Protein backbone atom coordinates (compact mmCIF):
# COMPACT_ATOMS: atom_id res chain seq x y z
CA UNK A 1 0.00 0.00 0.00
CA UNK A 2 1.32 3.42 -0.96
CA UNK A 3 1.84 5.72 2.03
CA UNK A 4 1.58 9.50 2.24
CA UNK A 5 2.36 11.97 5.01
CA UNK A 6 0.00 14.92 5.32
CA UNK A 7 1.33 17.53 7.75
CA UNK A 8 -0.92 20.39 8.78
CA UNK A 9 1.13 23.06 10.53
CA UNK A 10 0.01 25.13 13.50
CA UNK A 11 0.45 25.56 17.24
CA UNK A 12 -1.07 23.30 19.91
CA UNK A 13 -3.17 24.73 22.71
CA UNK A 14 -6.58 26.37 23.09
CA UNK A 15 -5.11 29.88 22.85
CA UNK A 16 -4.12 29.17 19.21
CA UNK A 17 -7.39 27.53 18.11
CA UNK A 18 -9.08 29.45 15.31
CA UNK A 19 -6.05 31.60 14.54
CA UNK A 20 -4.70 32.27 11.05
CA UNK A 21 -1.43 30.49 11.91
CA UNK A 22 -3.42 27.29 12.53
CA UNK A 23 -4.88 27.00 9.03
CA UNK A 24 -2.86 23.80 8.51
CA UNK A 25 -4.37 22.21 11.63
CA UNK A 26 -7.89 23.13 10.44
CA UNK A 27 -7.31 21.44 7.07
CA UNK A 28 -5.84 18.32 8.75
CA UNK A 29 -8.87 18.15 11.07
CA UNK A 30 -11.30 18.45 8.14
CA UNK A 31 -9.49 15.70 6.18
CA UNK A 32 -9.53 13.28 9.12
CA UNK A 33 -13.19 14.03 9.97
CA UNK A 34 -14.25 13.47 6.34
CA UNK A 35 -12.61 10.03 6.33
CA UNK A 36 -13.90 9.13 9.80
CA UNK A 37 -10.47 9.00 11.41
CA UNK A 38 -9.42 10.08 14.89
CA UNK A 39 -6.35 11.91 16.08
CA UNK A 40 -4.41 10.48 18.99
CA UNK A 41 -1.49 11.91 20.88
CA UNK A 42 1.72 10.39 19.47
CA UNK A 43 5.42 11.19 19.26
CA UNK A 44 5.95 14.88 18.38
CA UNK A 45 2.42 15.21 16.96
CA UNK A 46 -1.24 14.40 17.14
CA UNK A 47 -1.54 11.66 14.52
CA UNK A 48 -4.35 9.96 12.62
CA UNK A 49 -3.99 7.14 10.11
CA UNK A 50 -6.65 6.95 7.46
CA UNK A 51 -6.96 4.40 4.68
CA UNK A 52 -8.60 5.55 1.50
CA UNK A 53 -8.95 3.37 -1.62
CA UNK A 54 -5.76 1.41 -1.05
CA UNK A 55 -3.65 4.34 0.17
CA UNK A 56 -2.48 4.98 3.73
CA UNK A 57 -2.45 8.61 4.85
CA UNK A 58 -0.57 9.45 8.02
CA UNK A 59 -1.97 12.84 9.01
CA UNK A 60 -0.05 14.83 11.61
CA UNK A 61 -0.47 18.05 13.54
CA UNK A 62 2.99 18.68 15.05
CA UNK A 63 2.98 19.31 18.81
CA UNK A 64 6.41 20.98 18.58
CA UNK A 65 5.10 24.51 17.89
CA UNK A 66 5.43 26.00 14.42
CA UNK A 67 9.15 26.87 14.57
CA UNK A 68 10.14 23.23 15.21
CA UNK A 69 7.69 21.55 12.79
CA UNK A 70 10.59 19.85 11.02
CA UNK A 71 11.22 17.58 14.02
CA UNK A 72 7.76 16.03 13.69
CA UNK A 73 7.79 15.87 9.88
CA UNK A 74 11.24 14.21 9.81
CA UNK A 75 10.30 11.73 12.55
CA UNK A 76 7.10 10.59 10.78
CA UNK A 77 8.76 10.47 7.34
CA UNK A 78 11.44 8.19 8.78
CA UNK A 79 9.07 6.10 10.88
CA UNK A 80 6.65 5.45 8.00
CA UNK A 81 9.39 5.37 5.33
CA UNK A 82 7.75 8.09 3.23
CA UNK A 83 9.85 9.94 0.60
CA UNK A 84 9.64 13.76 0.26
CA UNK A 85 7.55 13.60 -2.92
CA UNK A 86 4.76 11.84 -0.98
CA UNK A 87 4.74 14.42 1.81
CA UNK A 88 2.28 17.32 1.66
CA UNK A 89 2.70 20.21 4.10
CA UNK A 90 -0.22 22.61 4.62
CA UNK A 91 0.42 26.01 6.18
CA UNK A 92 -0.70 29.63 6.32
CA UNK A 93 0.99 32.13 3.98
CA UNK A 94 1.04 35.93 4.35
CA UNK A 95 2.35 36.43 0.79
CA UNK A 96 -0.80 34.94 -0.75
CA UNK A 97 -4.18 36.71 -0.59
CA UNK A 98 -6.98 35.24 1.51
CA UNK A 99 -8.85 34.45 -1.73
CA UNK A 100 -6.20 31.94 -2.88
CA UNK A 101 -4.64 28.54 -2.25
CA UNK A 102 -1.36 27.65 -3.94
CA UNK A 103 0.03 24.15 -4.39
CA UNK A 104 3.73 23.86 -5.26
CA UNK A 105 6.11 20.90 -5.74
CA UNK A 106 8.99 22.68 -3.97
CA UNK A 107 10.34 26.13 -3.17
CA UNK A 108 11.90 28.39 -0.60
CA UNK A 109 10.57 28.76 2.93
CA UNK A 110 9.43 32.30 2.05
CA UNK A 111 10.21 33.40 5.61
CA UNK A 112 7.82 30.80 7.08
CA UNK A 113 9.48 29.35 10.19
CA UNK A 114 7.63 26.03 9.92
CA UNK A 115 8.94 25.46 6.39
CA UNK A 116 12.41 26.64 7.40
CA UNK A 117 12.50 23.99 10.13
CA UNK A 118 11.28 21.24 7.77
CA UNK A 119 13.83 22.10 5.09
CA UNK A 120 16.69 22.15 7.60
CA UNK A 121 15.77 18.76 9.05
CA UNK A 122 14.80 16.79 5.94
CA UNK A 123 17.62 18.37 3.92
CA UNK A 124 15.64 19.36 0.82
CA UNK A 125 13.23 22.01 -0.49
CA UNK A 126 11.75 19.40 -2.84
CA UNK A 127 8.54 18.42 -1.09
CA UNK A 128 5.01 19.54 -1.99
CA UNK A 129 3.32 22.26 0.03
CA UNK A 130 -0.18 23.71 0.01
CA UNK A 131 -0.02 27.38 0.92
CA UNK A 132 -3.23 28.65 2.55
CA UNK A 133 -3.32 32.38 1.78
CA UNK A 134 -4.14 34.61 4.75
CA UNK A 135 -3.18 37.93 3.11
CA UNK A 136 -1.31 40.66 4.90
CA UNK A 137 -3.73 43.51 5.71
CA UNK A 138 -2.02 44.61 8.91
CA UNK A 139 -0.10 47.76 9.87
CA UNK A 140 3.70 47.68 9.78
CA UNK A 141 5.09 45.94 12.86
CA UNK A 142 1.92 43.94 13.60
CA UNK A 143 2.67 40.74 11.68
CA UNK A 144 2.80 38.51 14.78
CA UNK A 145 -0.47 39.90 16.14
CA UNK A 146 -2.14 39.37 12.76
CA UNK A 147 -0.87 35.81 12.24
CA UNK A 148 -1.75 34.77 15.80
CA UNK A 149 -5.10 36.57 15.63
CA UNK A 150 -8.41 34.80 15.11
CA UNK A 151 -10.18 34.86 11.74
CA UNK A 152 -12.37 37.94 11.31
CA UNK A 153 -16.11 37.38 10.98
CA UNK A 154 -16.00 38.42 7.29
CA UNK A 155 -13.14 35.99 6.55
CA UNK A 156 -14.83 32.88 7.96
CA UNK A 157 -17.04 32.02 4.92
CA UNK A 158 -13.99 32.14 2.60
CA UNK A 159 -11.88 30.17 5.08
CA UNK A 160 -14.54 27.42 5.27
CA UNK A 161 -14.67 27.15 1.45
CA UNK A 162 -10.87 26.98 1.29
CA UNK A 163 -10.67 24.29 3.98
CA UNK A 164 -13.19 22.19 2.05
CA UNK A 165 -11.27 22.71 -1.21
CA UNK A 166 -7.96 21.94 0.54
CA UNK A 167 -9.30 18.51 1.52
CA UNK A 168 -10.23 17.86 -2.14
CA UNK A 169 -6.76 19.02 -3.21
CA UNK A 170 -5.12 16.57 -0.79
CA UNK A 171 -7.26 13.77 -2.20
CA UNK A 172 -6.32 14.79 -5.77
CA UNK A 173 -2.64 14.85 -4.81
CA UNK A 174 -2.91 11.32 -3.39
CA UNK A 175 -5.02 9.76 -6.16
CA UNK A 176 -4.30 11.79 -9.32
CA UNK A 177 -0.85 13.21 -8.64
CA UNK A 178 0.67 16.59 -7.95
CA UNK A 179 0.29 18.08 -11.45
CA UNK A 180 -3.45 17.33 -11.58
CA UNK A 181 -3.97 18.72 -8.09
CA UNK A 182 -2.05 21.90 -9.00
CA UNK A 183 -4.21 22.39 -12.12
CA UNK A 184 -7.31 21.97 -10.00
CA UNK A 185 -6.50 24.66 -7.44
CA UNK A 186 -3.86 27.18 -8.45
CA UNK A 187 -6.11 29.40 -10.58
CA UNK A 188 -9.14 29.38 -8.30
CA UNK A 189 -10.26 32.48 -6.47
CA UNK A 190 -12.39 32.14 -3.34
CA UNK A 191 -14.82 34.98 -2.73
CA UNK A 192 -17.63 35.60 -0.27
Q: What are the catalytic residues?
A: 21
Residue 72 to residue 12: CA distance in whole angstroms: 13
| Pick from 89, 139, 160, 162: nearest CA to 119 | 89
CB atoms within 10 A of CB 54: 8
How many other CB atoms are found less than 10 A from the CB of residue 144?
10
- How distant, in Å, are the alpha carbons of 23, 48, 64, 96 from that of 67? 15, 22, 8, 20
Residues 118, 70 contacting (CB under 8 angstroms): yes
Name the nearest CA neighbour of 136 among 188, 89, 92. 92
DSSP-based helix, strand, coil % in the chain, nearest 5: 40, 25, 35
Beta bridge partners of 9: none
Amino acid sequence: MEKFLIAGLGNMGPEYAGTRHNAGFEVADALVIKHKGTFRSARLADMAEIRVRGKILTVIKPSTYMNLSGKAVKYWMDKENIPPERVLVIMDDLAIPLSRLRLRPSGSDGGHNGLKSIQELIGTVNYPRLRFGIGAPYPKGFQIEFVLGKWDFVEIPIVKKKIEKSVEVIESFVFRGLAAAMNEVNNLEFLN
